[in-house]
Amino acid sequence: MTRLNLTLAALLLLAALLALAIGPDGVSPTLFADWLGGHDPAETIILADIRLPRVLSAAVVGASLGLCGAALQGLTRNPLAEPGILGVSAAATLGATLTLYFGLAALFPWALPLGAIAGAALATLLLASAAVRTQGMASLILVGVGLSSLAGALMALILNFAPNPFSLSDLVNWTLGSVANRSLADLAMTAPLILVGALFLFAQRANLSLLTLGETAAAAHGLDVRRTRIAIVAGTGIATGAAVALAGAVGFVGIVAPHLVRPWTRHDPGRTLAPAAWLGALLLVLADLVVRILPTDNELRLGVVAALAGAPVFTLIVLHRGRGASRG
């Protein structure tokens, strides 16, 4: 496990350095030396104010989504679960688009991330309440699907009533996901919340491993299943909401990252958390690098590239799972 985490961390560091060095004009081998030596103020702006916040944001968001996906898959014992399954991502996106629709984001720079966090917090409170009242994960997932459908319908309503094409463009762009034009101030506001959510989830590592026996057997071994469920739902809601506040809606990372590392963790949900976070960060940093260097007139959105890469993997997971079920 230690070797796996160190390998993924090293790959993430290499990918981050490449993302910092590579731009639309190719690789700049002297960029770091010039930046450290203070020879060119423009290069300082490129690295410190543009590329560094973007790379860090992609890594933080990817780690959050990978971690939350691994935790939810362990909780539901379903490899197709991911942060959007409980409706938190959709609720956070709805909160962000509301601030754009009513013009609050233009008046108050922090209104947009605060709106996303508020939407995620509301969804998390509803899910935590449902987790207390329901007896099984199936009911909780249905509640999440209902929340996601409602948030999606409300977002469609907002898009339908957009006052002008420019507002519609802003709303649509936010729903597609991006870490472009993010600043260290944006990261400083959302990263602590992601850390809080991550601490909730890592505290449940042993309980997630115990849940592989089934909820009834785990309860017989002394596990408080309801409290574990609430803690994981709360941690997922906080971390996912903050990630959406930083980057908008980015899908499939929460499904793909845990699935790829699971064979190296002996399919233990508790041991999958950290590697899934490292791999999620690596995947999103690489995806954003592809976004930046593609020779397109308009930069593709990170959520679009993540979906294009993740959807085929998701399909393969479903097909593989179907074959396994038919053999069993």
Looking up residue 290, the CATH number of its domain turns out to be 1.10.3470.10
Mean pLDDT of 37-53: 77
Let me know if residue 285 belongs to a domain: yes
Distance separating alpha carbons of residues 328 and 57, to the nearest angstrom:
42
Q: Band of the pLDDT at 284, cuts 50, 70, 90?
A: very high
Distance separating alpha carbons of residues 309 and 302, to the nearest angstrom:
11
Contact 193, 241 (CB under 8 A): yes
Let me know if residue 192 belongs to a domain: yes
pLDDT single digits (tens) 128-174: 777 767 766 677 778 888 998 999 899 989 888 887 776 777 777 77
Count of domains observed in the chain: 1
Residue 23 phi/psi, 5° resolution? -135, -170
Mean pLDDT of the chain: 85
Which residue range is the domain that position 71 belongs to? 2-16+54-327
Let me know if residue 45 belongs to a domain: no
- pTM of full prediction above 0.75: yes
Let me know if residue 209 belongs to a domain: yes
The backbone region for 222, taken as left when phi is positive above 0, alpha when psi lies in -120 to 50, beta otherwise, is left
